[in-house]
Amino acid sequence: MNETGDFDFYPAEHSISFSSTDGEKVEIEWSDGHQSKFNFLWLRDNCPCCVHPDTMEPLFNVASIADDEFISSVSTSEEGFLQVVWSKDSHISHFHPGWLRANCFLDASNRFTPKAIAWDSKTRKEPKRFNWDEIISKTETEREWLFSLVEDGCSITQNVEPSKDGLIRITERIGVVRETNFGLFFNVEAKNGPDTAAYTEIELPPHTDLPTREYQPGLQLLHCLKNSVKGGESILVDGFRVAEEIRLNHPEAFDLLTTIPWDFGNRSTVSDYRWRAPMINVGLDGEINEVRVGNFLRVPLQVDFDLVEPMYKAYKLFETLNQEDRFKLSFRLNQGECLIFDNRRVLHARNSFDPSKGERHFCGCYIERDELWSSIRMIDRRNRQKIINSSSNE
Amino acid sequence: MNETGDFDFYPAEHSISFSSTDGEKVEIEWSDGHQSKFNFLWLRDNCPCCVHPDTMEPLFNVASIADDEFISSVSTSEEGFLQVVWSKDSHISHFHPGWLRANCFLDASNRFTPKAIAWDSKTRKEPKRFNWDEIISKTETEREWLFSLVEDGCSITQNVEPSKDGLIRITERIGVVRETNFGLFFNVEAKNGPDTAAYTEIELPPHTDLPTREYQPGLQLLHCLKNSVKGGESILVDGFRVAEEIRLNHPEAFDLLTTIPWDFGNRSTVSDYRWRAPMINVGLDGEINEVRVGNFLRVPLQVDFDLVEPMYKAYKLFETLNQEDRFKLSFRLNQGECLIFDNRRVLHARNSFDPSKGERHFCGCYIERDELWSSIRMIDRRNRQKIINSSSNE
């Protein structure tokens, strides 16, 4: 039997000094003085033996908790587990002390809280750069590399083989590639018969990719295979930073941009993706959690006549700010460099270039953001496993 | 030059009888008496000649509209186009009457508004059934088949080749398959060493797939290759219907379920996806637009102690209602039948089965919901093209 009820590892750094219950909650004092409080329903739900032995997924269903269920008694076992005796089904739950402490909401150190740290051209000159060889040889660097995408929303990976295979190797370190109507991997170069502006040589204003879709892709990877043209510099803008600027200085525009949907759509002979959504999305916690921007990826706005003018004015402000130098990172992506950015936060743009002299060829793809977070957690889990293994070898 | 500025088709059923401007708006009276009103910023933004000739994507950027731009004059050309003369850049925009009428917000018939129609076991006994041969031979049936997924959120397609290839052919009629950690296509059958409950023979309570992900997959396709076991009946529940029931009768529980996030997570040795989100999501318009449910796909809830008990009580109510017969459609999926449902709306469940006698093998995959809507729009577009072609042949 697995002691914790899941596949993770829980080094037991502290032991239970004291536990008590009033039937509806369990209070615990730990060897380091920390105090925990667990509700009885939460404990019943998380009983580690009530899971499927193979999948570790809960078998116990919350709907089956009797209305008069409560805790009869608690104690600490010889192995240091919290033992909870239930009143109704006389079940006994055994909670591993490491697991219990790791899931104590009152211990702030437990919470994995990825948080965007907004930037502009004053606070950041270029995306952070990482060396591919170091990423694949040092777990610590790999974690920093992944985590920088959570905090900064962008990074450049250097010394990657300038080929599609080089890009594929990067994706394997992050997660499953999200295919779209542009394919699993797409080639960004000036083409004959382009089906979107990216595949021309023209300037691209700051935008997110696929605002035309219900779910804009999370991470975008743009890997430079060749870049010998004049022009074509890459530009990034932290959309969250600009949105905060509007919230602070133009509250009426912010209100319009966060509550009234715009109409986005692709232009194509073979598909007709459309989505209606506000350009700035604010989460339940009041934090900005998504921007949706693309001047050339819109279709005619469909709203009440009286809203049209104020909405255009708010949008013009947003678009104008997105193009201001004070928010822009501008740099040249060179052969063997892969730019990765959070497409729901960081707008990307490029200067026009001259395709007649030289070549500019990027290979790109999308990966959902939560793949990144899963990869970070797996690194942390393996580190915890090492701690347990080394302590059991002592 | 394309006359309308995009790749769609606009049969000109009505002509412009009269147009006028005060500089900031254009008022139009049509041959059928309908009246339109267009704002000058909207018109400038949508000028059909200011697009890229290949991609049809707008080249004109809203940020470049001069603060003192307005309309100098409007008139109707010999070909029936609305001609708008601009004050600042002396540009002239020519709007195709069919395009203009199709984008008039005051004409309610223009609006493509897919709308879920909630059901329960009183109003619906089984998912609607469609015949694959009819879908691929009759455009009208194909559209009905696609549209039923918008309205009902579920359907069964019959007479599909009982193989992965049969499933692939269905996906080709809808859109790009979304790959996940379970692969591009997954086999649902009782396996040795299952990595999730679906791959066992146990009962599955009503749930959405991958509530553990930032974006739950949109459509789920489950194609029955074999089903000769006892038990294993498929069950569907309209999550929007249950959520409305809670909104109506248990407003406090509804408030908790729509505003406080739960912790979802997969259990795996190779990935650690987690997401925090309320179980019911309400859009800006007050409509329920997503449910996120999976008793066995949760990890320990992390919230303030005082919230734990009320949240569990609200969740227990939701879980209990989801299991009530009055909301359930129950049916047996037979060989060659493909069940498709909106995974962000319709919960699915199954009864346990006996894998020792007979075989039960489904092949599944996910497709985003907006792929469906794009496919519906393309059918409508081809129908408009036919109208134009037949009128030009007359």
A180-214 pLDDT, tens digit each? 999 999 999 988 888 888 889 999 999 999 999 99
**pLDDT value for A394:** 59
Q: Is the ipTM of this complex over 0.85?
A: yes
Interface A:B, Cβ pairs < 8 A: 220
Between CA A241 and CA B137 the distance in angstroms is: 52
Q: For B302, which of A111, A309, A370 is closest by C-beta distance?
A: A111
Angle A369-393/A164-174 helices, nearest 10 degrees?
A: 60
B98-143 pLDDT, tens digit each? 999 999 999 988 876 778 999 999 999 999 999 999 999 999 999 9
**pLDDT value for B394:** 59
Closest-approach residue (CA) in chain A for B302: A105
Determine whether the interchain pair A308/B52 forms a contact, defined as Cβ–Cβ distance below 8 Å: no
Backbone φ, ψ for residue A244 (5° rounding): -65, -35
Q: For B7, which of A8, A267, A296 is closest by C-beta distance?
A: A267
Between CA A69 and CA B113 the distance in angstroms is: 47
Q: Which two tokens stand for residue B326?
A: 């009055």
Q: How many CA atoms, within 13 angstroms, populate the side-chain half-sphere of residue B113?
A: 8
What three-state secondary structure class fits A9?
coil
Contact A296, A347 (CB under 8 A): no
Q: Which two tokens stand for residue A99?
A: 């697991």
- Identity at B148, one-letter amino acid code: S
B298 CB neighbours in chain A (<8 A) are 58
Closest-approach residue (CA) in chain A for B182: A176
Q: Which residues pair with A277 in a beta bridge?
A: A262
**pLDDT value for A232:** 93
**pLDDT value for A112:** 65
- B129-138 long-range Cβ contacts below 8 angstroms, 24+ apart: B129/B155, B129/B156, B129/B157, B129/B158, B130/B155, B130/B156, B130/B157, B130/B158, B131/B157, B131/B158, B131/B159, B132/B157, B132/B158, B132/B159, B132/B160, B132/B170, B133/B159, B135/B173, B136/B173
Q: Which residues pair with A203 in a beta bridge?
A: none
Determine whether the interchain pair A305/B105 forms a contact, defined as Cβ–Cβ distance below 8 Å: yes
Q: For B57, which of A105, A275, A296 is closest by C-beta distance?
A: A296
Question: What tens-digit pLDDT sequence spans chain A (394 residues)?
Answer: 478 999 999 998 999 999 999 999 999 999 999 999 999 999 999 999 999 999 999 999 999 999 999 999 999 999 999 999 999 878 999 999 999 999 999 998 887 677 899 999 999 999 999 999 999 999 999 999 999 999 999 999 999 999 999 999 999 999 999 999 999 999 999 888 888 888 899 999 999 999 999 999 999 999 999 999 999 999 999 999 999 999 999 999 999 999 999 999 999 999 999 999 999 999 999 999 999 999 999 999 999 999 999 999 999 999 999 999 999 999 999 999 999 999 999 999 999 999 998 999 999 999 999 999 999 999 999 999 999 999 876 5
Per-domain residue ranges for chain A? 16-111, 128-376
Q: Which residues pair with B218 in a beta bridge?
A: none
B9-22 pLDDT, tens digit each? 999 899 999 999 99
Cα-Cα-Cα-Cα torsion A117, A175, A200, A268, nearest 10 degrees, comes to -110
Angle B164-174/B139-151 helices, nearest 10 degrees?
A: 90
- Residue of B6, B113, B267 to mutate when probing chain A, most A C-beta within 10 A: B267
Angle ∠(A329,A335,A340) on CA atoms, nearest 5: 45
Determine whether the interchain pair B57/A297 forms a contact, defined as Cβ–Cβ distance below 8 Å: yes
Task: Work out the minimum CA distance from A62 to partner chain B, whole angstroms.
Answer: 6
CA distances from B289 to A10, B205, B215, B280, B310 (A): 38, 21, 13, 8, 23
Contact A366, A218 (CB under 8 A): yes
- The closest alpha carbon to B296, from A323, A340, A58, belongs to A58
**pLDDT value for A2:** 72
**Pairing relationship of beta strands A35-39 and A25-30 according to DSSP bridges:** antiparallel
Task: Work out the minimum CA distance from B392 to partner chain A, whole angstroms.
Answer: 20
Sheet with A328-331: list strands edge to edge: A204-207, A346-350, A234-238, A328-331
Determine whether the interchain pair A312/B45 forms a contact, defined as Cβ–Cβ distance below 8 Å: yes
**pLDDT value for B391:** 84
Topology classification of domain B16-110: NE0471 N-terminal domain-like (3.30.2020)
A368 CB neighbours in chain B (<8 A) are 213-215
- Residue of B46, B47, B57, B372 to mutate when probing chain A, most A C-beta within 10 A: B57
Topology classification of domain B128-376: Double-stranded beta-helix (3.60.130)
- Sites in chain B below the pLDDT cut of 50: 1
Closest-approach residue (CA) in chain A for B259: A284
Between CA A331 and CA A317 the distance in angstroms is: 25
Topology classification of domain A16-111: NE0471 N-terminal domain-like (3.30.2020)
Put simply, whether the predicted model's pTM sits higher than 0.80 gets the answer: yes
